[in-house]
Structure 1
Amino acid sequence: MGAAGDMSMRCVLLALLTAAAAQPEGPRLISANVGIIQVDCCFNDTVVDHGQVVFNLPSKCLQLVCNYGKIIPRFLGDPGRSHCCEFDGLLYAEGAELAGHCVVMQCTRKGWIPRGDIDDCCKHCSVYDDPHFVTFDGYRYDWHGYCNYSVAQTDRTYNPEAGVFSDFEPCFGGPSCLGRSTFKDHKHTVISLGHSVFNLLVNGDPYAVPLVGAEPVRCSSKVHPVLAWRNGQCTMLLGSSKLMVQHCRHRLDVWAHPTHADNLDGLCGHFNFYDADDFTSRQGDVHPLEYLPSTFPHSWRTLDQTDYRCRQCKSCPPPRVERLCRADERQLAKYTSICEKHLGSVIDRTEGLEGYLETCVFDICMMYQDRRNDREVQDWLGILQKNVNMAHMIINLRLGE
């Protein structure tokens, strides 16, 4: 490292240690067993335990650590190393990998970068268009309710440790479309996802997803254990909860690590590699699988309702399920031809995408029933093409490549 680099490092250390030294001495904790006086530290009006990291500076591979009442610097490797990465309070050297999640992240000079395929043991749930669902265990169904619902959460209470939740709003004169979504990694990290895909709210504070690489999300100078990065026109979030979320304008994808097996429920179904009990309600009842369910999804309505109409009746019966598309056979054949023309090239060459043709026909039917013109239908078909292309990429497990 040159003279300029040495000066920069000295300045960083001086500023941080001066600020730490200015804090009042913390309370003394005496251990009778070993006869050692352990002294906690004060940092930014907070008392921290001996041995706890109080500040990370990944660009300099530096941590400040509480050590018997004093805050001292600790480097990852030799002093002068740079370009480290941070996750969940730990520093990682350039080239190191963050494993144990649904995708391996590697530390580079540009920050964290996703590497390789999604873990085969992680299961995927998708919610798209108006809306159509594919559960973690692979069951496909439609449900067109309104209000805020739990997409996936770590238990059946109304205040789970972690989960993904979404608003479903009226659209096309009958069904519902994805609105605001929320990713709760844990009780101290709640991320709101809206129509502006790359502009999030972290605990209520604005946060913009970086243009290059992945980084931990921040709010009010606090770093949270969730990595965010851009994947095409979507935002990816990887949390310490071992849930991974992809947020797009008309699509939401959730991946669950196998450690969540038998402990994850919601509209994405009961995750346990077995689809027969996918329709498990919040009360623990298992409902029969059907393409247009009612009672099961209604049980996953949350208490966090932004629409006053959803707050007024917490015990209302489930919405009535009915056949929303009223097209005759001739009209359905016309809509099928339109969808095959726009989506067939991708669907035909990729196993597992056949359901997108059926949902496309439904969407077009609903739009024409809502008196939408041909231009609006063409615009929506463009959105459907993006969804099918994204599904194709997910099936090939090449996120971030």
Structure 2
Amino acid sequence: MPAHAYRSALLHSLGDPADVGVAASYQYIADGLLLVEGGKITAMGDAAELLPTLPAGTPVERLDNALITPGFIDTHIHFPQTGMVGAYGEQLLDWLNTYTFPCERQFASPAHAEKVAGIFIKELLRNGTTTALVFASVHPESVDAFFTEAQRLDLRMICGKVMMDRNAPDYLTDTAQGSYAQSKALIERWHGKGRLHYAVTPRFAPTSTAQQLALAGQLLAEHEGLYLHTHISENPKEVEWVKALFPERSGYLDVYDHYQLLGPRSVLAHGVHLCDEECARLAETGSAIAFCPTSNLFLGSGLFNLPMAERHKLKVGLGTDVGAGTSFSILQTLNEAYKVMQLQGARLSPFKSLYLATLGGARALSLEDRIGSLQVGHEADFLVLDLAATPLLEYRLKQCNDIAETLFVLMTLGDDRVIERTVAHGQVVHRR
């Protein structure tokens, strides 16, 4: 891949504003230059300083009225639920039985899985998501379909087969030993192949027996660099159900802790009803929470306590949680996250939002050395945002006085139309 330079405004996170303060948490260059070669960022900084240093003949693409940011990172999303986004009128447990399980049943068909994988990944890229932590279905065919399409586009993606051996329809349940064997085969086929990673994926504690959870922990111990992806404390009835199913454990998180499922690559979605002690334990183990505001509001699950997570230095990424979440757009998800904070008397600054969508997500996935930033040496996964994507957006942004206000307006009025271009590993994978 030959060198290519982009001249545009550049913006990326340098750290969590809760830790380093807002002023030190980002870098903004109004007239910047981003040099990409071999799928990596090889230079970034002020255009005036870098232009004279470029090798002769390096093409320089000037992008006016645009902003380059790192690609968005979605730390929790369900690929098989693409066809049921916006399903009406239920809370979590009824919603699973009414909509989710029948929809996921279709993924026993490799042809169906392949078709939806193409639609799903296209939507991710159209909305500027360059890395996602993805639930497949219980069927190995769904994982094969997703990874095949992700590999074709050279994307950095994480996915896993759902493990679910009880409290679900017969047509969707596996067995503890069967799920172990199928997961192991998928790990050997896909984990570490190109830019792909495998996630051990028990759906959530109520749908796995103790034996299955133990085997999930065994998989993590047997293979280096695997992820653990599941749900926790999304809905009050779910939390009570877990207590009834595992009376010997002190709480929901203790179930996962007991079976050795917590660690630096463990991402647990939601965490709406966690307590201080559970947040402290998650932080101690290096585990992360995926904050899914759109989904939590849509299913009436509750409001995630981000300030509590910050007090405990808990890693937090952002998740769209499609299909309970109603948009693939990280921008729209940040719009909802701001409102979730408002309802709790807290504020979500635009730079914290930027962090959650990029570097914070990368840290939640233990990939901050590769993605989530425009730093030299990182993989060239980035977006070109169009600051004139709609007439209203163009007019409103002209009223902005600084990059903080511009960023906030993008996150409240923006959606997929703002994504002019998505670049993954240096290659354009979406152009509006």
Flag whether TM exceeds 0.5 (same fold). Answer: no
When you count strand as a share of all residues, which structure comes out higher?
1
Bigger relative CO (Cα 8 Å, ≥ 6 apart) = 2
TM-score by length of 2: 0.23
